[in-house]
Amino acid sequence: MRQRILIVEDDPKLAELLKSYMEKYGYEAKAAEDFGRVLQEVAAYEPHLVLLDVNLPKYDGFYWCRQIRTVSNCPIIFISARAGEMDQVMALEYGGDDYIAKPFHYEVVMAKIRSQLRRAYGEYAAPAERKTAVEGLTLYPERMELVLEDRRVPLTRNECVLLERLMRCHPRVASREHLLEALWDDQTFVDENTLNVNVNRARKKLQELGIENAIETVRGAGYRLIATWAEGDRP
């Protein structure tokens, strides 16, 4: 499978030149089309690397870098006509991996892309972090953390297990038996009341992110996650 690169550059001629150059080297490349929905484009395209301009319409590249980091750990290389030291510091502080000042040589861009891809996905790369995402809400089981945009809340082990099962079942119903089995380990027996308590705790963690009415009780069946935080899916 060819590695995918998303180009977030509002100069259409430059974006097309970068795209053609990357394709010549065997990569799959796509230029972002809606600079107000960069996060959605990242979620839909699932790039292995993002090439990100700083000066963009509406929100700048620093803002989008922070947003991308809520859903992806892929390498992010900034490209910008702003060559000041503080711009480069900000790019790295906000989650970027490298910074290239314009004007640049395309061979330098390609060398940095290859370097970042080797580091992220080559034989010496660390194993990819496990995550589950639904409509921009992301669960990181290994961190026991739930993230929505720039907000995050820590989870207990049971909250994490419960939310992961609900998110993986979305939009289907997760049966009570399925959830009880997930919460039950060799040392701890989980009964119906314990499941109810854990569901209520998970609801409170969602509320800390500003999410209301997202875990629906389906009588006689179990529970269902509803993406009430997403546009067009609010009750």
Domain-by-domain residue ranges, the chain? 4-121, 132-225
Residues 232 and 212: their CA atoms lie apart, in Å, by 15
Mean per-residue pLDDT for 148-161? 90
Residue with tokens 């998970």: 202
| Whole-prediction pTM | 0.56
Residues 147 and 77: their CA atoms lie apart, in Å, by 23
Q: What is the pLDDT of residue 123?
A: 60
What is the number of other CB atoms lying within 10 angstroms of the CB of residue 161? Answer: 20
132-225 belongs to CATH 1.10.10.10: yes
Those residues with Cβ within 8 angstroms of residue 109's Cβ, 6 or more apart along the chain or in another chain: 18, 21, 51, 77, 79, 100
One-letter amino acid of 170: H
Give me the phi and psi of 92, to 5 degrees please: -75, -40
Which tens digits make up the pLDDT trace of 61-92?
999 999 898 888 899 999 988 877 888 898 88
Give me the phi and psi of 119, to 5 degrees please: -65, -35
4-121 belongs to CATH 3.40.50.10190: no
Q: State whether residue 17 is helix, strand or coil.
A: helix
What is the number of other CB atoms lying within 10 angstroms of the CB of residue 68? Answer: 26
- 228 vs 149, more confident: 228
